[in-house]
Amino acid sequence: MPKDGGIGASTKRREDVRFLTGAGRYTADIDLRGQAYVQFLRSDVAHGRINKIDTSAAEAMPGVLAVFTGEDFTGMGGNPAGWLIQSRNGETMKEPKRPVLAHGKVRHVGDAYAAVVAETPEQARDAVEAIISDITELPAIVDMAQAVADKTNRVHDEIADNVVFDWGWIEDNRAAVDAAFKTAPHVTTLELTNNRLSPNAMEPRASIGDYDAGTGDYKLYTTSQNPHLHRLLIAAFVMGIPENKLTVIAPDVGGGFGSKIYHYGEEAVVLAAAKKLNRPVKWVATRSEAFVSDAHGRDHVTKIQLATDMQGNMLALRTETLANVGAYLSNFSTATPTFLHGTLMAGPYKTPLVYVNVKAVFTNTAPVDAYRGAGRPEATYSIERVVDKAARELGIDPFEMRRRNFIKPDQYPYTTPVGLVYDTGNYDATLNKLVEMVDMKAFETRRAASAKAGKLRGIGLSTWIEACGIAPSNLVGVLGSRVGLFDAATVRVNATGNISVMVGAHSHGQSHETVFAQIVSDKLGIPASSIDIVHGDTSKIPFGMGSYGSRSLAVCGTAMVKAVDKIIAKGKKIAAHMLEASEGDIVFEDGSFKVTGTDKAKTFGEIAFSAYVPHNYPLETLEPGLEETAFYDPSNFTYPAGAYACEAEVDPETGKVTICNFWAADDFGNIMNPMVVEGQVHGGVAQGIGQALLEHAVYDANGQLQTGSYMDYAMPRADDVPFYESDFSCITPCTHNPLGVKGCGEAGAIGSPPAVVNAVIDALQRGGHKNVIHIDMPLSPSRVWAAINA
Amino acid sequence: MQLSDQRQIKAAPAVVWAAILDPEVLKACVPGCESMTGSPADGFEAVVVQKVGPVKARFTGLVHLSDIVEGKSLTISGEGKGGPAGFAKGGAKVTFTPEGDGTLLAYEVEANVGGKLAQLGSRLIDGFAKKMADDFFERFQQTIEGPAEPEPEPEGDAPEGEAKKGWLKRIIG
């Protein structure tokens, strides 16, 4: 019988009540007394040298309080990349300073190089238009291959080949991999593009800077997935504010998908302007600004090769990838194509030899960084496409090809050739579940019906794995991370027994307020309605590295459980005193501390009250109060995995692809709230289908963004996606966190794109279009039609 | 984007050539032109109001004549800044070839836009540039020839006001 509360219950989302009744409080909803407004002047050329910026006319405009240019921030530090990557030749990556506002050069369309603060947003906007800039346009560097080849045209003048790093993973394995390819009975080669995406959070970025001249304290309200990370970047790296003098508040945030992990220059401007003017300064991005200035996702060009024997056993795999980082290094931009991508290139397979080469390339485009899945969708897409192609070349059933190469349940812990240790999994189980869901016999019937109607129907498979629960700090430190990736939680039991839980993981769509409360409720035996989950304010929460990389539950949730355990341990001490028993005889169950074997008990509420009104309390040995904090650093990544199948129908007359069915069988470890997990899978798969069929951020040869509005950037709509069937009953609990959880937030976006593309290729192949072996995403009607008619 | 086209003008090449160097003619022919000052040698300063899809802007910019081969060919290029709308730049390489007692005027047009114009209107730019070029040369032809008189179905909108009489006729008569 399904539970109606606690762990495993599909408890309805408490946050929806305020979101659905218009009572959410987003940064744009916050107005501080006396606030002024800032607007930014953004480059309309992709690449240019700034000769002169004349702000005199703007300064004289009505209501204008201050005008800033890049020169005003040259004394500040650069916005850093969070990971330091070493090139194959031992050199450290190129890391040009990323300024608050561009100065010297503008490097992409949308690059902000001046800002106006005025009494009203309209006055600020008018004054921005009055700034006269003399910018010499330079040839735009857009294509990655050209960027590497043309040594005269440089995004950053000091970097001759526009290459950030040339990374080999693992370089020591390269010779053995190459040797395996020389003797391999069969080699499958595929060149593919992982299309560039706009992140499209529903809420555009917004920030308010506030400064207290009396105390010297700064406060930043901003759209952040990780307020402590923002505080660290702004305080320690960019502005040089002592961390204790900066509070960062991320209130309700309307989606992030990665794009709100990063610190952007606008946040430093509102803080600096607030101090200069001694007034709060607010900025809310327009959707147009979001398109050109939010960090984009993906944008890899990859050549992948798979060596097999004639039975389809994978012998070796190697890849060469150009990864676009755009004009500047965004905070995670160097980790995404390397340690979130290269380390996953073994997939769920026991391929013994793997070598990954990634060159990260500067171009005159918006910065590219982690976007839902971050590196792992790119890895999964490359692997699952080449495995599918190899199966076809070898005449092996694609299900069987995968099964033959899976790591088997008795092989864990399994060390991959690309540096990860998978703790647990059962890839055959999820694939078998998927086969059950798909029912291939029924597929044949449906395919025949499509054929009768002149349509081509196919089925595509993807067996994916990811590393999430980011991340063990000692490991990522070795790999180049400049931060720790632990998390923290404080459980504060109030005197009257209700609870505030301050967590480091920010919730901007992940349902923490509901699910974390379910877990605490389950552990303490008190109703979830008495538990509040507090997040998003550095002055309230102990610490936290935020929400991304499907880490919230596995890392922050574990910290929270550990803090709850400390509460229970202290409660036992208090109960032992009150019940005149030895601590070892106290058990905590169903919300009561009991003396084992007796009917003597104290409720959780009585213990809490005693902790704050310690009249009968062991004050000699125990502090009063009932509040505990735990920090948790995971000992390993978690490894969710699953098997996805997509059934697609192609209209050969028009090239239009219709997704008929989508099945997902996932192993996320233990499930805390099935409804929320299902929602996460649905959303992720919709984003994956968007990438596979519709979405593409396109720059023209001059570096102008061609897809800068929803007129041209195609988001998936309700009628583009099917009714999904998802299952997460195949469970191998994570072995190294107490909840046994792995994370589910990115899975759908990671696993689905290759399933969709494999389905379309399968449909075309079955339909007799044997020459179509690959189409780059997005599989728009024009691309599919062109492939059919090539 | 690039496009090319040609049209017959019922006037001698010398007349057509003189017309294209005349700022008044240029002003009358550039669609949406509010002002045009300057000379062929120094270039012209122009203010043009145009709407591309959802973006309407007043462009201020320079028009240059270059690659001038007297009476035979020249390149008209312009670059306009439209403030928050971004910028537009483009050019037309125009050749003048005698054909019968008229002139065959051929042109190759190239246009680029940036900023909000590109962001919001890139899909519309090809059509827009073609219309701009067609309008320009249509007006140019009508300015020289005068309005297409008795023909029942005139193409496009006739230029307004004084241009009705025709540049050639005003000069000659």
Confidence (pLDDT) at A37:
98
pLDDT at B147 over 90: no
Does residue A768 sit within a domain? Answer: yes
Residue type, A740: G
CB of A711 within 8 Å of a chain B CB? The answer is yes
pLDDT tier, A121 (very low <50, low <70, confident <90, very high otherwise): very high
The verdict on A452 and A567 lying in the same domain is no
Say whether both A441 and A534 belong to one domain: no
A21 vs A507, A594, A722, CA distance in Å? 18, 43, 28
| Overall domain count for chain A | 3
Based on the fold, state whether residues A35 and A64 are members of the same structural domain.
Answer: yes
Range in A68-72, A380-384, B145-149 with the lowest mean pLDDT: B145-149
Say yes or no for a CB contact (<8 Å) between A702 and B84. Answer: no
CB pairs < 8 Å spanning A and B: 51
Q: Is the pLDDT of residue B164 over 70?
A: no
Encoded amino acid at B155, one letter: E
Residue B35 or residue B164, greater confidence: B35
Q: Does residue A705 belong to the interface with chain B, where contact is any CB pair within 8 Å?
A: yes
Spatial distance between the Cα atoms of A217 and A240, rounded to a whole number of angstroms? 13
Determine the distance in angstroms separating the CA of A129 from the nearest CA of chain B, rounded to an integer.
6
Q: Which of B52, B110, B122, B123 to mutate to test the interface with A (most CBs of A within 10 A)?
A: B122
Which whole-number Å values give the CA distances from A365 to A43, A295, A329, A703, in the listed order?
11, 10, 11, 7
**Which residue did the predictor score with more confidence, B169 or B110?**
B110
Contact B36, B49 (CB under 8 A): no
Q: Which two tokens stand for residue B142?
A: 């009508």
Report yes or no on A13 lying in a domain.
no
A4 pLDDT tier (thresholds 50, 70, 90): confident
Query: Concatenated DSSP letters for A394-442?
Result: HT--HHHHHHHHBPPGGG-SEE-TTS-EE----HHHHHHHHHHHH-HHH
Residues of chain A neighbouring B123 (CB-CB closer than 8 A): 706, 711-712
Q: Cβ separation of B119 and A708 shorter than 8 Å?
A: yes
Q: A712 to chain B: nearest residue by CA?
A: B123
Which residue has tokens 């009714």? A723
Q: How confident is the model at residue A342 (pLDDT cuts 50, 70, 90)?
A: very high
Distance from CA of B41 to the nearest CA of A (A): 23
Q: Give a yes or no: residue A19 inside a domain.
A: no
> Looking at beta carbons, which residues of chain A come within 8 Å of B115?
44-45, 109, 704
Residues in B touching A45 (Cβ below 8 Å): 87, 114-115
Neighbours of B62 (CB within 10 A): 16
Task: For residue A702, give the nearest of B53, B112, B116 by CB distance.
Answer: B112
Residue of A nearest to B113 (CA): A704
Is it the case that residue B158 has pLDDT exceeding 70? no
Integer-rounded Cα Rg, in Å, for chain B is: 16
- How far apart are the CA of B2 and the nearest CA of chain A, in angstroms? 14
Share of chain B above pLDDT 70, in %: 83
Instruction: Please check whether residue A138 touches B, CB under 8 A.
Output: no
pLDDT at B63: 85
pLDDT band at A64 (very low <50, low <70, confident <90, very high): very high
Cβ contacts of B87 on chain A, cutoff 8 Å: 44-45
A86 neighbors A480 (Cβ within 8 angstroms): yes
Find out whether A578 and A610 touch, Cβ atoms under 8 Å.
Answer: yes
pLDDT of residue B83: 78
Q: Looking at residue A315, what is its pLDDT?
A: 98
Q: From the candidates A42, A43, A44, A709, which should be mutated to test the interface with B, based on the most B CB atoms within 10 A?
A: A44
Asked if B123's CB is within 8 angstroms of A709's CB, the reply is no
* Percent over 90 (pLDDT), chain A: 98
Does residue A279 carry a pLDDT above 70? yes
Host domain of residue A519:
486-632
The architecture that CATH gives domain B2-147 is 2-Layer Sandwich (3.30)
Distance, in Å, from the CA atom of A536 to the CA atom of A556, rounded to the nearest integer, reads 13
A210-214, A375-379, B113-117: least confident range: B113-117
pLDDT score recorded for residue B131: 85
Q: Do A706 and B118 touch (CB under 8 A)?
A: yes
Q: How far is B88 from chain A (nearest CA, A)?
A: 11
- Residues of chain B with Cβ-Cβ distance to A709 below 8 Å are 119-120
What are the pLDDT digits (tens) for A629-688?
999 999 999 999 999 999 999 999 999 999 999 999 999 999 999 999 999 999 999 999
User: Residue A433: pLDDT above 80?
Assistant: yes
A700 shares its domain with A569: no
More confident residue, A118 or B157: A118
d(CA A282, CA A115): 12
Within A168-322, where are the H helices?
Answer: 174-183, 227-232, 265-277, 287-293
The phi-psi region of residue A594 (left if phi > 0; otherwise alpha if psi is between -120 and 50; otherwise beta) is: beta
- Cβ atoms of residues A502 and A541 within 8 Å: yes
Q: Which of A632, A652, A674 delimits the end of a domain?
A: A632
- Report pLDDT digits (tens) over A536-585: 999 999 999 999 999 999 999 999 999 999 999 999 999 999 999 999 99
Distance from CA of A300 to the nearest CA of B (A): 23
Say yes or no: A287 and A354 in one domain: no
Please classify residue A442 by burial: count the beta carbons closer than 10 Å to its beta carbon, then call 0-12 exposed, 13-18 middle and 19+ buried: exposed
Helix, coil or strand: residue A289: helix
Residue A459 domain-assigned (yes or no): yes
Q: Is the pLDDT of residue B161 over 50?
A: no
Q: Which residue of B has its CA nearest to A45?
A: B114
CB of A706 less than 8 A from some CB of B = yes
Distance CA B67, CA B75 (A): 6
Q: What residues in B contact A128, CB-CB < 8 Å? A: 84
Helices vs. strands in chain B: H and E counts, helices first: 4, 7
Task: Tell me, yes or no, whether A698 lies in a domain.
Answer: yes
The Cα of A696 is separated from the nearest Cα of chain B by a number of Å equal to 14
Give the domain-ending residue among A600, A632, A664. A632
The CA distance from A190 to A258, in Å, is: 28
pLDDT at B168: 63
The number of angstroms, rounded, from the C-alpha of A252 to the middle of its chain's C-alpha atoms is 18
Ordered by start, the domain boundaries in chain B are 2-147
CA–CA min distance B85, chain A (Å): 9
Residue with tokens 């390489």: B93
For residue B156, pLDDT beyond 80: no
User: In this predicted structure, what is the pLDDT of residue B115?
Assistant: 84
A402, A406, A408, A409: CA torsion to nearest 10: -90
Q: Of A212, A207, A206, which Cα lies nearest the Cα of A275?
A: A212
Does position B173 have pLDDT exceeding 60, yes or no? no
Taking CA atoms, A166 is separated from A86, A92, A160, A175, in Å, by: 8, 10, 14, 17
Q: Are residues A104 and A241 in the same domain?
A: yes
Q: Is there a domain that residue A190 lies in?
A: no
Lateral strand order in the sheet of B33-39:
B2-9, B102-114, B87-99, B73-81, B55-69, B43-52, B33-39
- A1 pLDDT band, cuts 50/70/90, is very low
pTM of the complete model: 0.93
Q: What are phi and psi of A378, to 5 degrees?
A: -65, -45
Residue A453, domain member (yes or no): yes
A237-241, B91-95, B140-144 — which one is most confidently predicted on average?
A237-241
A659 shares contact with chain B (CB less than 8 Å): no
A714/A655 same-domain check: yes
A543 and A586 in a single domain? The answer is: yes
Q: Is the pLDDT of residue A597 over 90?
A: yes
Least confident of A69-83, A575-589, B94-108: B94-108
How far apart are alpha carbons A388 and A386 in whole angstroms?
5
Q: Are residues A418 and A491 in the same domain?
A: no
Q: Which tokens sit at A627?
A: 């509040």
Least confident of A284-293, A451-460, B95-104: B95-104
Are A452 and A417 in a shared domain?
yes
Cβ contact A769:A784 at 8 Å: no
Nearest to B119 among A45, A291, A702 (CB): A291
Q: Could you give the ipTM of this predicted complex?
A: 0.76
Contacts of A47 in chain B (CB under 8 A): none
Q: Answer with the one of A632, A665, A683 that is the final residue of a domain.
A: A632
pLDDT over 60 (residue A117)? yes
Q: Are A675 and A571 in a shared domain?
A: no
* Domain presence at residue A283: yes
Give the C-alpha separation, A711 to B123, whole Å.
Answer: 9
For A467-507, the pLDDT digits (tens) are: 999 999 999 999 899 999 999 999 999 999 999 999 999 99
**pLDDT tens, A506-515?**
999 999 999 9
Q: How far is B18 from chain A (nearest CA, A)?
A: 33
Cα–Cα distances (Å) from A599 to A586, A602, A633, A660, B43, in that order, read 11, 10, 39, 60, 100
Distance between CA atoms of A398 and A389, rounded to whole angstroms?
9
What is the per-residue pLDDT for B4? Answer: 86
**Chain A residues in contact with B112 (beta carbon < 8 A):** 702, 704
SS3 A35: coil
**Dihedrals φ, ψ of A239, to 5°?**
-100, -15
One domain for residues A527 and A599: yes
Task: Compute the nearest-CA separation of B4 from chain A (Å).
Answer: 21
Chain A residue closest in CA terms to B115: A44
Which CATH number belongs to the domain containing residue A344 in this structure?
A: 3.30.365.10
With a cut of 70, say whether residue B159 has pLDDT above it. Answer: no
